[in-house]
Structure 1
Amino acid sequence: MSNEIARRNTPAQHQGKPVARVEVKNGCLYLLTEPLPPGEYSLYSDTGEIERLRRHKHEADVALAAATRLYKKHEETITELRTEVGRFKSEYQDFKREREKWWDERDTLGSQLGDLKELLRDIYNQNELSIYDNQRIEAALSTSAETEVKS
Structure 2
Amino acid sequence: MERVMVLVVVALLVVIGAAGPAESMSGCGPAQYCPQRTLVNKKVPCVRTEMVAEVQPCTRVVPVKKVGYRVQNVMLKGTPVGRPCGQDPCTKCCPQPFCQVVQQKVPYVYYEPQCIPWYNVVYKPVCRTVMLPQTYMVEAAPMCGK
Normalising by structure 1, we get a TM-score of 0.23
Q: Which protein has the bigger strand share?
A: 2
**Structure with bigger RCO (C-alpha 8 Å, 6+ apart):** 2
Q: Which protein has the bigger helix share?
A: 1
Normalising by structure 2, we get a TM-score of 0.24
